[in-house]
Amino acid sequence: MSSQTEHPTLLIPGPIEFDDAVLGSMSHFSQSHVGPPFVATFGETLTMLRKLLQSSNPASQPFIISGSGTLGWDLVAANLAERGDEVLVLHTGYFADSFADCFETYGVKATQLKAPIGDRPQLPDIEKALKEKKYKLLTVTHVDTSTGVLSEIKALSELVHRVSPETLVIVDGVCSVGCEEICFDEWKLDAVLTASQKAIGCPPGLSISMYSGRAMEVFKSRKTPPSSYFASFKNWLPIMQNYEAKKPSYFATPPTQLINALHTALTQILSGSLNERFAAHREASKRIKDTVTSYGLKQLATKPENQANGMTAMYLPNEIKAPEILPNILKRGVIFAGGLHKEIAAKYIRFGHMGVSVTDPKRDDIQKALNVLKEGLNDVGYKAGR
Amino acid sequence: MSSQTEHPTLLIPGPIEFDDAVLGSMSHFSQSHVGPPFVATFGETLTMLRKLLQSSNPASQPFIISGSGTLGWDLVAANLAERGDEVLVLHTGYFADSFADCFETYGVKATQLKAPIGDRPQLPDIEKALKEKKYKLLTVTHVDTSTGVLSEIKALSELVHRVSPETLVIVDGVCSVGCEEICFDEWKLDAVLTASQKAIGCPPGLSISMYSGRAMEVFKSRKTPPSSYFASFKNWLPIMQNYEAKKPSYFATPPTQLINALHTALTQILSGSLNERFAAHREASKRIKDTVTSYGLKQLATKPENQANGMTAMYLPNEIKAPEILPNILKRGVIFAGGLHKEIAAKYIRFGHMGVSVTDPKRDDIQKALNVLKEGLNDVGYKAGR
């Protein structure tokens, strides 16, 4: 039984439901950020992040910084790109527009390669774009939280390394790290950015990222200094290296309680098999997608291969709008998210299925949510599954 | 009795010891960042921040952002200054050097006005500097955590408004907000930056700040766009205004648990009299400073009027170094901090006395720390108070 106060089951694409032990770590007694116990915790957390991303290359560099997932974009734009550089942003939803906006803020020219809503840019089109112009970076949103579209990272990275080997491969993994397979070394990725509150299962407030040795070399050979202070690798790199070597170090006070909670979450994840974890998310996702399809609902992500495994974005029946169905579902004890893609926001809802709601056999969150969705649809006049 | 696991009493200048209820709020069950309950919590927290800083002017604008205190410098440098602008940085320790470094990162020219270690720049010298050149901003560290030097904000702001009325008055209040008097409106301040983990008594992970209507006008009349994405008012202003109006809004996922904890901490602080809170810190500080003086220890801050009320930085006897005495004190159940001012780091230690350690009558932290300091000094061969 959970020790948490009774509350509606939170099944949005992050923040997700948290494990009792992770939440317990959030109320850890106060520790000095430079004292040996916390230094050990932080150092171990950085090392566990390598394991989560399946990286054993010592040149890879993890960063865990107080901030939201959004800060990860500044880390890339301010450290790996320079004013005037060209970057290619693959667009599968809202978050590509924002990443491009972040680049432009730093004077970096972002070209977006877009797909229709629910689809993803195709490899031949990406190949063509990479051959037309030299890009310093290519960015891809592994799972776009606004649409539930999944990108194919492995094949994409192979393509980039074949066609434009100097282009760094940057993966926005905010809604994928912890539930979708990522092999950082094997797939030759240069950066994976994420946040704490999605499939990793730790409360929000941490920008979490990993960079390849190659990316760190690009940083070190910059012609101009990084164009941010709080997001500067110049300031953070020695801190991360020192903490992982169990040496205290100071640039800014780390969020000690959140890092204790992340330590607990990563310890839990790594105590089992990562492949089994990814498989559990795929299985739950298939069950959810089959069931909502049987209700007559269509997904934004058009094809099975581009459907995320940690969330489902689904169109509502024409006559129903999100502001009508969501309160009905909440009344039954489940919180889903509304739409985020501006053009169609009221026409769809999002169901997040990551972390303990999927992996903890003591929880019945997924079945409850599927039942509640059906009842809610029936209640507002749509006969689900008839 | 505290419900926290037994642990050494943390008396460094932040993070501080936390109240049980505040730590309890850190393990709040997961909430949607755009759902009505959390939107209400966040909105109320922003409004309480106005009260903490004694601002009733609706043009003042509070910001609460996932990040550390350091992020506050980027907020100022990226939004209130533009490339090529001149700023005057008053130096009372480590944190002025860092704030100046932050300005330079953004292409803003920072002139530092320095005082000898333990002192602060004097008003006539500041007046002279302001008359020699036109500065867009003047920054002052209210309490420099590296030295325990207190700056005089009220008289300084009067001077700036008299001599250089267009210069914005920026107060780094990381180690002062919650324990030193600040009257944002009455003193005509333009910005106060702080963090959660010091005298406010909430775990680390929040950049907290307040800007005057005048500062927001300077932002709005920029010739160039803000030069950061994560630290941009353009991105955050609508979010803060919407949350305070109890409307959900999205730029980046807020750290929901930390904001619940800040809500609890501010509710506790504002349930009493702010003036009594400041007086309690002054009284505890006087008792500590009198006692360590009776032990024969000298403070870095040379004069009573420039000694902070939430911390004491004290030189060790010549024959004792910080790495020798601190473990001895820890063995007795108290954590003090070592020195941070590079030139003299091993020669002094820092004792933080903020928040519940001072205000909670059920705690005996201060007397315990004073006893332990005396015992520790005696133990390493210095006869304290003889």
How many Å apart are CA A138 and CA A110, to the nearest integer?
9
pLDDT digit string (tens) for B267-298? 999 999 999 999 999 999 999 999 999 999 99
Task: Say if the Cβ atoms of B226 and A12 lie within 8 Å.
Answer: no
The letter for the amino acid at A341 is H
Q: Indicate if the pLDDT at residue A1 is higher than 60.
A: no
Closest CA to A119 of A157, A87, A152: A152
pLDDT digit string (tens) for A120-133? 999 999 999 999 99
Long-range contacts for B151-155 (Cβ within 8 Å, ≥24 apart)?
B151/B90, B151/B92, B151/B120, B151/B306, B152/B120, B152/B123, B152/B305, B152/B306, B153/B182, B153/B187, B153/B189, B154/B183, B154/B187, B155/B123
How many Å apart are CA B37 and CA B28, to the nearest integer?
12
Start-to-end CA distance of chain A, whole Å, equals 36
Q: Which of B69, B228, B253 sits opposite A69 (nearest CB)?
A: B253
pLDDT digit string (tens) for A345-383? 999 999 999 999 999 999 999 999 999 999 999 999 998
Taking only Cα atoms into account, the Rg of chain B, rounded to an integer number of angstroms, comes to 21
The letter for the amino acid at B226 is P
Q: pLDDT-derived band of residue B1, with 50, 70 and 90 as boundaries?
A: low
Give the list of residues 6+ apart from residue A276 with CB closer than 8 angstroms, or none: none
Give mean pLDDT, residues A70-81: 98
pLDDT of residue B207: 98
Q: How far is B50 from chain A (nearest CA, A)?
A: 23
pLDDT digit string (tens) for B234-276? 999 999 999 999 999 999 999 999 999 999 999 999 999 999 9
Q: Which of B4, B105, B254 sits opposite A228 (nearest CB)?
A: B105
Task: Say if the Cβ atoms of A26 and B70 lie within 8 Å.
Answer: no
Q: Which of A18, A32, A204 sits opposite B254 (nearest CB)?
A: A204
Work out the mean pLDDT of chain B and round it to a whole number. Answer: 97
Report the b/e string of B65-99 with b at 16+ CB within 10 A.
bbbbbbbbbbbbbbbbbbeebbbbbbbbbbbbbbb
Helices B233-244 and B36-52: angle between axes, nearest 10 degrees: 100
Q: How far is B186 from chain A (nearest CA, A)?
A: 31
Task: Say if the Cβ atoms of A258 and B256 lie within 8 Å.
Answer: no
Q: What is the ipTM of this complex?
A: 0.98
Minimal-distance CA residue of chain A relative to B35 = A335
As a whole-number percent, the residues of chain A with pLDDT over 70 amount to 99
pLDDT of residue B343: 83
How many Å apart are CA B272 and CA B266, to the nearest integer?
10
pLDDT of residue A342: 81
Task: Say if the Cβ atoms of A205 and B204 lie within 8 Å.
Answer: no
Task: Say if the Cβ atoms of A69 and B252 lie within 8 Å.
Answer: yes
Claim: this prediction has a pTM higher than 0.95:
yes
Q: pLDDT-derived band of residue A384, with 50, 70 and 90 as boundaries?
A: confident
Q: How far is A14 from chain B (nearest CA, A)?
A: 8
